[in-house]
Structure 1
Amino acid sequence: MMFPTPAAFAAALADPIVPDEAAIAHARARQASLTKPPGSLGRLEDLAVFIAGWQAQARPQIRRARAVVFAGNHGVTAHGVSAFPAAVTAQMVANFEAGGAAINALAGAAGLELKVVALDLDRPTADFTQAPAMTEAECLAAMSAGADSVSNDLDLLVVGEMGIGNSTAAAAIAARSIGGNGADWVGPGTGVDRFGIARKVAVIDRALTRHGDAPATPFETLRRLGGREIAAIAGAVVRARQLRVPVMLDGFITCAAVAPLAAVPGAIGHCLAGHCSAEPGHARLLSALKLEPLLRLDMRLGEASGAAVAVNIVRAALAAHDGMATFAEAGVSAG
């Protein structure tokens, strides 16, 4: 098990791993020598330098990239916080495995291998208005499953999720990590009406009160208010940083999964935000995490769908960075 104890998770989270400054300097120098006005490719230039730093090479490439969709079920659905029954989680996992979901098509278009990790779908987490969502052992197992999905031969990791009820868990985590109450973070999720939103707000406020005296550590926030798939995302992100693998985050739930981690300086410095979803709290969460999304397409599906689309932008950035001629190569005056 990658994280046998909460202390092991905290130690991994605190690892002082930073991008390679020499690679960054060489990548910036290359950008300055390419046949274009300085800065004319905008954020594509920044993306190339970002990936160069984490890959520790001046001309980075994405040879192997993986999208991992984690799935888990939530006991809080007993309060009517979702428009769909919990059985849909397993049904969608079957759809992923059969190749019929949006993420299957979008991962293929982005050149991503797709891995689906279903986490004890027959055992929903506890109702977090009454008790911690997970025991320590359950949370550590989920985090370790996330870590196990990352390998050191990856050039990019994309994280996504599936879990009926997980927008409620994500809003609770955001409130505890960033501040505010349920009303500040709740949105329609899979499409609940105003009465469903009111139920979500009430549930989250009860949970925040119930766990208000708990230690404000990333581990305790995730185990008390999260789900197995959310804890797995956190574990994957921490492990990816240890292996120097850059991560593309998806929507509100994946960003909420890393919100507790962000309390540790540099812990999510290897993460990119693929898009800003239509879930109302996502824009606020991205701002709090100081992540600028690559895309704004009004998507709200989850499954790593927005992040998969954004991978194409990264591929374009690296293609320009590696494939363009320099002024000297092209015989063009640099002015």
Structure 2
Amino acid sequence: MNLFDDSAAKAARDRQDQLTKPQGSLGRLEDLAVFMAGWQGRGRPRIDRAQALVFAGNHGVVAQGITPFPPEVTAAMVANFEAGGAAVNQLCRAAGADLSVVALDLDRPTADFTQGPAMTAPEVSDAMARGVDAVDADADILILGEMGIGNSTIAAALAATCFGGRAEDWVGPGTGSVGDQLAAKMRVVTEGLALHAPTDTAGTLAAFGGREQAAICGAIRRARDLRIPVILDGFICCAAASVLLRDDPDALAHCLIGHESAEPGHRRLIAALGMPPILSLDMRLGEGSGAALALNILRAALACHDGMATFAEAGIG
């Protein structure tokens, strides 16, 4: 079923061609306006309600010594989000987005995926459902982010199982893993890929885990059903979203990538997805920060699209 409104997109493109500028001179801003028009089903799209969701989860594979931080940091950062003290709080405030944080059973980490599946099928379903439930049906745009000590390792495993390659192709420092910790990340991803060979979305999430990754997948599916465009954050968020392509090659058609993360695997992942990012600022924080920042660009694109005069309105030509 095609949820993209081609007639609304055409109306937006026609308007862009009549605005007081050389055709195409606003570059990607024009394409973003047309993208929003098609998904919102109106030739002059708008963002009255921007929702930002950060999903948080903990991971059993952290016990393998893959990160310099203990899993308790996840809960501490959730408290920081809720108190308004994180970078994403400031960026959402600047971009006019309402931020919610969804903590997913932080006291119950997923299992170590080098020893078996990280989650059971019911656990995957529950986490995806919580992502579904978190989406505001009245939102005009949805920003997605995550928090979870160890989840850059999960992202590397998800990317590798979806797109191939070795652990070394996808593993990066994350929150600062170097030396033995970085080697441990590569080892556990290699072991996980040897142990698991899932082929569908639910099976991939069960194999490698991440309640926050599963919730991201649920939120993306719900947003598509509601025709709400989505801005994805960096490597971890995009790796989670990629898992949906195992069931549906068009699952991310309503999504934009907010920025190109400095995490090494993200550039490779962007190329595999064929989705150019809006920004590239050497950020690698996660928590939805790059996606929130990209919302400002999207708002600027729509402001030009709606507010500029046409040549006829300006009496030019």
- TM bucket, shorter chain: over 0.9
Q: How does 1:79-94 map to 2 (within 5 A)?
A: 79-94=64-79
TM-score, normalisation: structure 1? 0.93
Identical positions, percent: 63
How far apart are residue 321 of structure 1 and its match?
Answer: 0.1
How far apart are residue 218 of structure 1 and its match?
Answer: 1.2
Q: Is the 8 A contact 2:51 2:136 kept in 1?
A: no
Unaligned runs of 5+ in 2: none
How far apart are residue 265 of structure 1 and its match?
Answer: 2.1
Query: Per the alignment, do residues 17 and 83 of structure 1 end up closer, same or farther by CA in structure 2, a change over 3 Å counting?
Result: farther
For residues 229-285 of structure 1, give each alpha carbon's deviation from its aligned partner in whole angstroms, at most 9, with x where no partner exists. 010001100110010000000010000001121232211000000000110000100
1:142 is the counterpart of 2:130: no
Q: Is the 8 A contact 1:18 1:266 kept in 2?
A: no
1:197 is the counterpart of 2:161: no
113-122 or 150-159, larger mean C-alpha shift: 150-159
How far apart are residue 47 of structure 1 and its match?
Answer: 0.2
Which of 3, 13, 30 is the aligned partner of 1:45? 30
**1: distance between equivalents of 2:300 and 2:112?**
44
Q: Is the 8 A contact 1:174 1:185 kept in 2?
A: yes
Q: Is the 8 A contact 2:153 2:185 kept in 1?
A: yes
Which of 324, 327, 331 is the aligned partner of 2:308? 324
TM-score, normalisation: structure 2? 0.98
Unaligned runs of 5+ in 1: 1-15
Match of 1:247 in 2: 230
For residues 145-186 of structure 1, give each alpha carbon's deviation from its aligned partner in whole angstroms, at most 9, with x where no partner exists. 001111221100000000000000000000000001211100
Match of 2:203 in 1: 220
- What SS does the corresponding residue of 1:328 show, helix, strand or coil? coil
- What SS does the corresponding residue of 1:24 show, helix, strand or coil? helix
Q: Is the 8 A contact 1:27 1:58 kept in 2?
A: yes
For residues 201-221 of structure 1, give each alpha carbon's deviation from its aligned partner in whole angstroms, at most 9, with x where no partner exists. 100111111113xx4011111
How far apart are residue 226 of structure 1 and its match?
Answer: 2.4
For residues 121-148 of structure 1, give each alpha carbon's deviation from its aligned partner in whole angstroms, at most 9, with x where no partner exists. 0000000001111111111110000011
Q: How does 1:99-248 map to 2 (within 5 A)?
A: 99-212=84-197, 215-248=198-231
**2: distance between equivalents of 1:284 and 1:30?**
35
**2: distance between equivalents of 1:238 and 1:283?**
24
**2: distance between equivalents of 1:238 and 1:20?**
18
- What SS does the corresponding residue of 2:153 show, helix, strand or coil? helix
**2: distance between equivalents of 1:103 and 1:332?**
43
1:284 is the counterpart of 2:272: no
Give the ranges of 4+ consecutive aligned residues of structure 1 lying more than 4 Å apart after TM superposition. none
1:21 is the counterpart of 2:21: no
- What SS does the corresponding residue of 2:54 show, helix, strand or coil? strand
**2: distance between equivalents of 1:291 and 1:128?**
29
How far apart are residue 18 of structure 1 and its match?
Answer: 2.9
- What SS does the corresponding residue of 2:279 show, helix, strand or coil? coil
